[in-house]
Structure 1
Amino acid sequence: MINNKYFAEFIGTALLIMVITGSGIMGYDLSRGNSGIALLINSIATGIALFILITIFINISGAHFNPLVTLMFWADGEVSNEILIKYFLSQLMGALLGIIIAHLIFYLPIIQFSTKIRSGYTFWISEFISTIILLFVIKHFSNTNKNLIPLMVALLVATGYLFTSSTFFVNPVLTVARSFTDTFVGIYSTDVIGFVIAQLFAALVFVYFFKKKY
């Protein structure tokens, strides 16, 4: 039984990115390159994985798996400076490990650099709005019915893959990690900056307007 919150964040983030990457690879291969079918498979697998992982780890670490979620709870005074930093490091290391494992189990080169272009203001706006929505849903159910968080976040992310142009990355550490996989879910390293800035800006806006107001 995992009882260390930092290890929970590490392993949870690793498993999440492993599912995201692995299902992207499998979906693309099984559909013979059909991006629509691959995205559908990717979204369903990610949603299911999120539901399971959040359900398992929510009472251990809060099941953040995302530094922006940790930042939101830090702004509310529920997370200390030390935990904020250690969670971020745990999530980042977990994300990088998850990418490596996904490559290993699909017999791909461990070290890769994505060539998939995801650039432009449409993607940045998409990530800004998506991040706001994610944080709102988590905060709402944290304040009203914590038991619904696993289901609601899972459904939101699975749906977000299909209604946003950016496919709902909404997570800086996963975005960085996905630049190290040249597969269906990858993102070109130069494009990471725009995504992360949009995500972080959205988190700061959310914290400013919703801190102690919601």
Structure 2
Amino acid sequence: MWAQLSRVLFNSFLETLYMVGMSSTISFICGIPLGVFLHVTAKGEILERPKVNGVLSAVVNAARSTPFIILMVLLIPVTRMIVGTSIGINAAVVPLAVAAIPFVGRIVEGALKEVDRGVVEAAQSMGATPRQIIGKVLLPEALPAIISGLTLAVINLIGYSAMAGAVGGGGLGDLAIRYGYQRFRMDIMFATVVILIAMVQLCQALGDRMAGKARKS
């Protein structure tokens, strides 16, 4: 029996990796530019657009304040339109990514705010364009903080993926509910928790190492 359960655990682990990996990639691709835009369009910044920034900030805040389980339900029509179904690991990627994008955006925005204003002003005095300031000053200077923040985002997505599994998203959360809770198998519940903790620990260790290397470079 344990041989069969081991295969099920391994498959659920792979499903969780897929959900977290895909949603992380999408959230990074969309969230990092979002965070940069939020920063550079703020009052007093290099591309100041207060009205645009205010509207976008309100949208980001609204998305961040929506509980994930509610967000999943609200996005069911969108999820069906994109992947053709509202259950399964592919369907879970949609709300996971949508939940993570504003979070990543705020992380990047916060990291860029910590960059010394004098460095930006020095680049401006030398005639650097806004694109050059973003690519050669802001992002390199904020890279360690951005990496640490993105690590936190991935860890949050691991937790969200387990929650998505509880409502038909697949992965370790689905396994814990169907095999552990509903069949009163505490050993399976324990195994899924151990795997999730190990994933978080490994992710945190890798993120800390990458951030450390970025600080030294």
Q: TM-score, normalised by structure 2?
A: 0.31
Instruction: From the CA coordinates, give the structure whose radius of gyration is larger.
Output: 2
Q: Compute the TM-score of the two structures, normalised by the length of structure 1.
A: 0.31
Please identify which structure carries the higher helix content: 2
